[in-house]
Chain A
Amino acid sequence: MIRRKSPLSPLLQRGEPSRQYGFGHRVSCLASPFAKGGLRGIFFLLVMLLGNAAMAADFTIGYLQLQNDPRYSSKHTFAQYLTQPLGRPYAGAQVALKESKFHGSAVGAEFKLQQVKGKDNADLLAQVDTLSKQGVHFFVVDAPAATVAELAAATKGKDILLFNISARENSLRQAQCQAHLLHVIPNYAMLSDALTQYLTVRKWGKALLLTGASPEDVQLTESFERSAKRYGVKIVAKRIFELSNDPRHRSQNNVALLTSEADYDVIFVADTDGEFARGVPYQSVKPQLVVGSEGLAAMAWHWAWERHGAPQLEKRFEKQAGRPMRDVDWAAWLAVKAIAEAVQRSASTDFAKLRDHLLSDAFILDGFKGKRLNFRPWDRQLRQPILLGTHNWVVERLPLEGFLHQTNNLDTLGFDQRDSNCKF
């Protein structure tokens, strides 16, 4: 991943994301110069050769995303659903890059981000392959679960580490887990465990479960069912909602009907999209609280968190992005920070050394949530406190006092070693 900086290389490395995207294309050119335009490919080769002649070393981190990702459609981000992104998280990685200007100084490395926008999974994979051949080992991956799984499976056994920053699906940590796939974003099991711990302490022991039918919603629902069983919350009824106005389906699309004829303390809405969930509060038959995807939600980050230096990070992010920071932004930030931390601590740019340190118990990451964070060895999930937030406040940080674990209380959230089906 070390590349030499030349007077020409800033043309390729710096500047707007769109320019970096252009670089992505040049990479493709290099991969198949005759197919896509030989001259540009040759120009690029020339730049690479000149580049190798000069002084300070760049440490390039790949940043992968899809050109079309429905999670970031303008309609979706405009709606500001409680648990959904407000925009692409690349700004988080940029903030981390600025924070890391001293981390590489001992080894003379300067961190750079290489943003790659893939047309589809195959295109992303091809570009990863190209960058990997150029010595890039670390990739921040902002993609839906299916893409993450495909990328991870295809890069297995290579000198690569992938940092999943936006796919919360449990399956990626269980059956589809990979030794080189690290998860910075919490999984659904961690989020629902956090929320359920809180329900338990509040003695809100009866939940009405409303769930969508999408595969993502099913994963979230299964997570909540698992947590409810674990912490003794009773699910009094499970009802499938439908986002429609069809009067023939009113028992599924009408919140009043969905929430009638049951005795419950809270309504848990499992809606990974958010559009249905936002309409549930104040529409239920009973005045009970809404939790899950609306009302009170478990999150990796919340702009209103005011301890552990969080306001300073939030300020830096908002300056960069012009909007509040959400989970995925935080995860993008922390993924880059993790790589910088590894370089600083191991005083090396050697991939094997960095990987070993990142995955070791000695690894300490500062997520601005007060606890030292590191990766669980059994499924590569980053253990971390979870915040329980409303639209404008953080009600609690989890795990709550009294939820104890034999080695690390953070492991009361999500898949502990004995719950893990992951086999590398």
Chain B
Amino acid sequence: MKYLRPLFALPLLSISLLAASPAFAKDTGYIFVSSEKDNNISVLDAKTFEVVKRIGTAARPRHLQFSPDHSKIYAACGDGAAIDVIDVAKLELVDRIAGIEDPELFDISADGKTLYISLEDDGALGILNLDEYFAKRGEKPDLSVAEPAPPGETSEAEDDNADDEEEEDGDAAAIPGLKTVEVGEEPEGILLSPDGKTAYVTSEVANTVHVVDTASGEMKANIVVGNRPRRFALTPDQKELWVTNELSGEVTIIDPATNKVTQSIKFLPKGFRAEDVTPVGITMTRDGKTVVVGLGGSNHIAFVDVASHEVQDYVLVGERAWNVVLNRDNSTLYVANGLSDDISVVDVASRKVTKSVPVARVPHTVLIDD
């Protein structure tokens, strides 16, 4: 599963290495999976699916994303009030952006210098300038990790840390390099437009997609979508922005040129009722022809044809299928099943599950380093 890194990534290497010792990314082929309840990131071999390592993090790691050069992984740790930085070559926790209250999902600018973070508790979009943060933050925070909690226990040590942090640092505004934009309660999905000028944010509570101008922090539009909107996918031609809506069981399609809703796609796998279908995760193939949606409580994923907006296939996976991720050549799809503690491996050509791999408790996000 090794593929050549596209050339455009090369110039970025020199400017985006921020923390610890610069390590040039190599395609490790590893699969990284965050576990909300075991407070770690499992590293799996992509061929054997053996666990290579478990990297401990701050409490409740959820969303993961590579830096543009794949040298680092950022992990949003909700209960640990931190974004942890993992060195991909070393497979180690090397740094921490501390004091970010309840980060959920985030996106990274193309130059790797800015994080756009949904701050669930504050009802805000956080825009974090990483250079400024690392230059001005003072001491590197303590990198203690939350215990890989045995069943029934939470990670109290880490929670205490987070509380201390809060008292010292005050509110989120005190973090160097962090600006916030007020949005609806419980912001979740975040997508940065390819030109970096616009951030789209879902608010689960307001049933709204907020369109934020990243330079001014101004709200350009509030688009009413379905109920409990979660995550985004954008077509390569940028003509359609797809949004999953967990509670109304649909995907809303927005025209980014007009900020208007143009269509809605409903899902109904065989043997389920509309109210069981709770779409959350979404991803698009590189060619922009197919979208895959994780249908949550109905334990299926859906393949949708982008041109016709028709659902082509439903594939049965594990319980509460949320996050869906394609490998680089789009031959394999990974699905994080939050309630069966495993990931499903799906062959995209045949649209069949080839394997289901136990990972850790409540897997949230899968990343593939290929």
Question: Which residues of A are at the interface with B, using a C-beta cutoff of 8 A?
Answer: 98-103, 105-106, 309, 312, 315-316, 341, 344-345, 347, 364, 366, 370-372, 408-410
- The residue on A at minimum CB distance from B339 is A307
**Complex-state Cα separation, A101 to B207, whole angstroms:** 11
| Contact between A408 and B275, CB atoms less than 8 A apart | yes
Which residues of the partner chain A approach B227 to less than 8 Å between Cβ atoms?
364, 366, 372
How does the 8 Å CB contact mask read for B266-281 relative to A, with 1 for contact and 0 for none? 0000000101001000
| Contact between B185 and A99, CB atoms less than 8 A apart | yes
Q: Which of B221-270 contact A (CB under 8 A)?
A: 222, 224, 227-228, 247-249
What is the distance, in angstroms, from A159's C-beta to the closest C-beta of chain B? 26
| Contact between B273 and A372, CB atoms less than 8 A apart | no
What is the distance, in angstroms, from A396's C-beta to the closest C-beta of chain B? 14
Which residues of the partner chain A approach B249 to less than 8 Å between Cβ atoms?
372
**Complex-state Cα separation, A388 to B186, whole angstroms:** 26
B184 beta carbon closer than 8 Å to chain A: yes
For the A-B complex with A309-B204, A370-B297, A372-B248 known, give 17 more contacts whose Cβ atoms are closer than 8 Å.
A100-B206, A101-B184, A102-B208, A102-B222, A309-B228, A315-B121, A344-B224, A364-B227, A364-B247, A364-B248, A366-B205, A366-B228, A366-B247, A370-B278, A371-B275, A408-B273, A409-B273
Which residues of the partner chain B approach A366 to less than 8 Å between Cβ atoms?
204-205, 227-228, 247
- The residue on A at minimum CB distance from B185 is A99
- The residue on A at minimum CB distance from B120 is A312
What is the distance, in angstroms, from A90's C-beta to the closest C-beta of chain B? 19
| Contact between B185 and A98, CB atoms less than 8 A apart | yes
**Complex-state Cα separation, A409 to B297, whole angstroms:** 14
**Complex-state Cα separation, A344 to B228, whole angstroms:** 13
Question: Which residues of B are at the interface with A, using a C-beta cutoff of 8 A?
Answer: 120-121, 184-186, 203-208, 222, 224, 227-228, 247-249, 273, 275, 278, 297
Which residues of the partner chain B approach A103 to less than 8 Å between Cβ atoms?
206-207
Please give me the 9 A-B residue pairs with the lowest Cβ-Cβ distance, nearest first.
A102-B206, A99-B185, A99-B205, A364-B227, A102-B184, A366-B247, A102-B208, A372-B247, A372-B275
A-B pair count, CB < 8 Å, reads 52
**Complex-state Cα separation, A371 to B249, whole angstroms:** 10
- Among B186, B205, B207, B297, the one with the most A-chain Cβ atoms within 10 Å of its Cβ is B205
Which residues of the partner chain B approach A101 to less than 8 Å between Cβ atoms?
184, 206
What is the distance, in angstroms, from A339's C-beta to the closest C-beta of chain B? 14
What is the distance, in angstroms, from A261's C-beta to the closest C-beta of chain B? 38
- The residue on A at minimum CB distance from B224 is A344
| Contact between A106 and B275, CB atoms less than 8 A apart | no
Which residues of the partner chain A approach B205 to less than 8 Å between Cβ atoms?
99, 366
Which residues of the partner chain A approach B186 to less than 8 Å between Cβ atoms?
309, 312
- The residue on A at minimum CB distance from B183 is A102
What is the distance, in angstroms, from B172's C-beta to the closest C-beta of chain A? 15
**Complex-state Cα separation, A103 to B222, whole angstroms:** 10
